[in-house]
Every structure is written in C-alpha cells, then in structure tokens.
Amino acid sequence: MVRGSRILPRSFYVRETEAVARGLVGKVLVHGQTAGRIVETEAYLGMGDLAAHASHGITERTRVIFGPPGHAYVYLIYGMYECLNLVAEPDGMPGCVLIRALEPLLGIESMRRRRPAARRIEDLASGPGKLTQALGVTRRHYGADVTRGGLTVRGLKCEPACEIAATARIGFTETADRPLRFIVRGSGFVSA
C-alpha cells in the first residue's frame, strides 16, 4: 500500500478522456505489492478517433471501453506485449487512457525479476508493454474495476508538483495535430 494515498473514486473517470489522461499523470498505479507513479499517458477518444480501438464500434475486444468508467482495458499488441488502458467517459460513451510509463516506487525487486533485461531503474516501466510486465498486469485484468481490488490508481494526499507537457501521441498520424499524450516534463522515466 502507498502511505498517504487514497484510491481514486469512479467519479474521477466520469469525465472527458483528455481530462482523465492529464489527471492521471502524477497518480500512483498499484498492483499487489508493486506501484509506480504515472509519468506518461495517452488519450484515445472513441468513435471519432481513428487511432482508438473503439472507432470500429463494440466488439468482444472493445466492449469494456463502452461500459462504466474506472475499469481496465488490457489488450495484446504485436502478439507479445500487453497494454493497460483505463476507461473514461460516462457509461456508454467510449474513451480510454493508455498508461504509457511509470516511475517505479514499490516492489522494485519484483519488477526487476519480471524485467531482467532492464539494466536501469528508468528502464523498468518506460513503455506500455514494459510497465505491464513489471507490475504483473495481464489480459486477465481485462475489465477489472480499478476503484477497488488488487489493481488500483491512487492519489497522494501531498502530490509532488510536476509540470505536465502535452505532445502528439507516439506512432500515430491520426489526430497528430492534437496533443493527446501527457508527460511529466523532464522525467527520465517516460518512453522514448
């Protein structure tokens, strides 16, 4: 558990996806005995966003994105990496936030065992596939309620100040003119 913190309530996620993505930066993602400060997110805006999985409508894979906010959307990419997204927007309105990078805080030895190729602490969770591996988050967490249980996001009572920068999402030309990636400016833990 992270001292001096509280689990974010569902109301935190019942907002526009961009606001949730920006608001998650600086919060703490906890899974079991591991935790990390979120230093990078990306917003995926639903039906009108061609880069969003929800743009193709409801499928077996995307059904959670169209459901109640505050749930995990975990999927496999490139046939080998699992990615964690958190559902935003009111129930029925698709939107989710990809958690792209963390600054490890707790359970660092467990993270190192799960990511033996990571030479530096900055490399343990500096990408969406790296952070799920480091924290032990898998597709079995698909649909998990992040407002309770073993996978949660917490806000610190005294959050350290950080400057948030907005940039284009990584790897997409869709909505490239719109800054939908949020990072802690100057953090050595963000993805490349």
Domain CATH code at residue 140: 3.10.300.10
Residue 23 lies in a domain: yes
Q: Kindly give, in sequence order, each residue whose CB lies less than 8 Å from that of residue 79, ignoring residues fewer than 6 positions away.
A: none
| Residue 189: inside a domain | no
Domain contains 91: yes
Q: What global pTM score does this model have? A: 0.95
**97 within domain boundaries:** yes
Q: Is residue 31 part of a domain?
A: yes
Q: What is the pLDDT of residues 78-104, one digit of tens each?
A: 888 999 999 999 999 999 999 999 999
**131 assigned to some structural domain:** yes
**Domain for residue 25, yes or no?**
yes
Whole-number CA gyration radius for the chain: 15
> What's the average model confidence in pLDDT over 104-108?
97
Number of domains in the chain: 1
pLDDT digits (tens, 9 = 90+) for 128-174: 999 999 999 999 999 999 999 999 999 988 777 789 999 999 887 76
| pLDDT attached to residue 74 | 98
Query: Containing domain of residue 30, as a range?
Result: 5-183
